[in-house]
Amino acid sequence: MSVVEVKRRDGLARVSTLSLEGETYPLPDILDVGTLFPGLMDSRMENVPLGADPYFTARYLPKGSSQPFWAHPSEEGAAVSGACVMVPCWHTALAHPRSYVDWLVRLKTALPPDTAWYTPATALPSNVAILCYTGFDMFDFTAVDLKSSQGIFCLPEGDVSREWQKKGICSCPGCQIGDLRDHNRNALLRELALVKGYIADSRLRDLVESRCRMDASQVAILRHLDQRLEFIESAVPVSRPGPLLATTGEVLHRVEVTRFAERVVQRYQPPRADVAVLLPCSARKPYSTSQSHRRFRQAIAGRALELIVTSPLGLVPRELELVYPAAHYDVPVTGYWDAEEKEFVAGIISGFLKKHRFRRVLAHLEGGALEAAETAAGRAGVELLVTCNGRPTSQDSLSHLESALSGEGKVRHDTIRGTGTWQFDQVIDTRRLAIKGRYPEIRAFVGRNPAFSIDEATGLLRPTFEGWAMIPEGYRVTIDEFIPTGDILAPGVVDADPRIREGDEVLVKGSRAIATGRAAMPAGEMLRSGRGVAVKVRKVKRLTREHM
């Protein structure tokens, strides 16, 4: 019997352990699969193409209860939780990006999430990052050894002639003695160690975007996977501990970006306002701490809804400026917006202006941001009043902005309510709340009882039991009949709101206790996994007879 324990997730990628026959193996890693799975030594290594039809696959793909379980896109698969899955011929998928993603989605959807995935004869220094990114954990040296026999020098940037070994590019032990096979193996191990480090830091996407620049097929795989939002979105956490690097065109299609923008348009409920002002972003985050936004806010004086126009997020309402990734992205500041950026941002602004109608919309913008706003206004049937005369921070522009708002009433911005609509898709009645602390380190109380605080790392609300009582539904995890004494494991979960993603705040409900905490895996994995922490519990309350 084998056991797979996921320690860290980063989308489909995982840092995990495989326990088999009394031994524990860290993953992802290069393993001696012949020793690990003796049954493979007697296999005929049947070559069933990934595109084969179900009839052909059923006839020729090996069956049996021994590990690893053979998997194929046209079959349901017999693997159970904790098992090892082998996908033969996966090296051929790399040359067919659309099929790569189609086959991946079929396989990952059909098989349990807590399984270890082995792809034989595939891993190279140049592709192991995207293999891990798409959910593979176990590799061998076969592919690099084949390259060595062909006289090919393997690098993370790609494969070149063995003559490059003499150019001093690498100082590994193999290169010092001219051993090509040793170098290629070391290069794969070094790259895999780098991948593991990026997964542990929740930044593998950054590495993949960097590595794939040297391989058109990998760029295509990334783009096709981003388009399968219904599949990939559930695997991506609601927030990450580090910055979001917005340094490539692919960032516009990253789940974190599309999710934020979609929730701004579909979930977020702004305060009542007659006037909205579109403002430029700032290099400093959150925006309100920047010198430029201090001047904007002084000129606006609370008389309009403040909406920040930015690439790649599109539109950031002032109430959401703390929410990941609005306060956590890093973008090259050049003043130039390409056509794709302007189109993406225009789509978000127009969607927002169509849903929320304002008597007046002011655009305190210039350059590409202004062009995007003008396109959006045209689509939404809104007339823009441009208040910039030159730079937005010039005295003339600020005076024009202040004058344009003369006579307008105050807008009551409410960070708790605004963030709650984005985070939980629920309108929280904040009229009974007393806000204490200094923005952004604020807490909300009902009487003397704390109800909400803001997580400084993510900008998301952390509800107490009193806070959850103000959120009528959603983001609940139902557990079996037990009282949690620590974190809640997946086998104890009976049901979970399908909207829950890793990192979401959740309310745990059972017949004997309730608890508050943070989801450690998405809802789908909670229900399909046989092992692993589902919810990191913060506080537990036993239910007495009067609560039942």
Coil/strand/helix, residue 115: coil
Residue pLDDT tens, the chain, 548 long: 789 999 999 999 999 999 998 899 999 999 998 889 887 877 765 688 999 999 998 888 887 767 888 899 998 767 888 999 999 899 999 999 999 999 999 999 999 999 999 999 999 999 999 999 999 999 999 999 999 999 999 999 999 999 999 999 999 999 999 999 999 999 999 999 999 999 999 999 999 999 999 999 999 999 999 999 999 999 999 999 888 998 888 999 999 999 999 999 999 999 999 999 999 999 999 999 999 999 999 999 999 999 999 999 999 999 999 999 999 999 887 778 999 999 999 999 999 999 999 999 999 999 999 999 999 999 999 999 999 988 999 999 999 999 999 999 999 999 999 999 999 999 999 999 999 998 888 999 999 999 999 998 999 999 999 999 999 999 999 999 999 999 999 999 999 999 999 999 999 999 999 999 999 999 999 999 998 999 999 999 998 865 55
Which residue is it, tokens 């009902």?
A: 446
Where residue 41 falls (left for φ over 0; alpha for ψ -120 to 50; beta otherwise) is alpha
* Closest alpha carbon to 320 in 468, 454, 472, 465: 454
Per-residue pLDDT at 547: 55
CATH of domain 415-542: 2.30.130.10
Distances in whole angstroms, Cα of residue 26 to Cα of each of 126, 138, 193, 253, 421: 21, 10, 11, 31, 40
Rounded Cα distance between 443 and 424, Å, is 18
Three-state secondary structure readout of 449-500: EEEEEECCCCCCEEECHHHHCCCCCCCEEEECCCCCCCCEEHHHEEEECCCC
CATH class of segment(s) 2-229: alpha beta
Residue range(s) of every CATH 3.20.20.105 domain in the chain? 2-229
Which residue is it, tokens 């990052």?
A: 129
Rounded Cα distance between 465 and 521, Å, is 21
185: Cβ–Cβ under 8 A, 6 or more apart, which residues? 141, 144, 145, 174
Token pair of 531 as six digits: 């092992």
The distance from CA 495 to its chain's CA centroid, rounded to whole angstroms, is 23
Query: Which of the 8 DSSP states describes residue 289?
Result: G
Token pair of 478 as six digits: 């139902």
Instruction: Round to the nearest angstrom and report the end-to-end CA distance of the chain.
Output: 40
Residue range(s) of every CATH 2.30.130.10 domain in the chain? 415-542
Coil/strand/helix, residue 413: coil
* Closest alpha carbon to 36 in 48, 21, 49, 51: 21
Residue range(s) of every CATH 3.40.50.10630 domain in the chain? 244-404
Q: Which CATH number fits domain 244-404: 3.40.50.10630, 3.90.1010.10, 3.40.710.10, 3.40.50.1360?
A: 3.40.50.10630
